[in-house]
Amino acid sequence: MAVSVPKTQKGAVVEKPGKDAKAVVKEIPVEEPQEGEVLIKMVATGGTN
């Protein structure tokens, strides 16, 4: 089953963790799953706080 997965993606990266933390959207590599792991295409995400 051929599935096309890009080499890079957009992701929110935290800069300066701590009180001055800022999330910056960057172009980052798509990680390679290791044995026992699965690659998941995100369709929704959320959080609290």
Partner 1 sequence: MPYRLAFAEGRLESCHDDASSRWWTRGCRPHCQIGPWRNESQDVYTIFGAGLICRGQMVGIKAVWSVCGKCEECKDGEDALCSNGVSSGAHKSGTFQEYAIGPASYVTPVPDGIDPLIAAPVMVPPLWCTLC
Contact between 23 and partner 1 by CB under 8 A: the answer reads yes
Contact between 16 and partner 1 by CB under 8 A: the answer reads no
For the purposes of burial, counting CB atoms within 10 Å of the CB of 9, is it exposed (0-12), middle (13-18) or buried (19 or more)? middle
> What are the residues whose beta carbons fall under 8 Å from the beta carbon of 21, sequence distance 6 or more?
14, 15
Per the structure block, which two tokens stand in for 12?
């929110």
Contact between 21 and partner 1 by CB under 8 A: the answer reads yes
Contact between 24 and partner 1 by CB under 8 A: the answer reads no
Report, in Å, the least distance between residue 42 CB and partner 1: 5
Report, in Å, the least distance between residue 23 CB and partner 1: 7
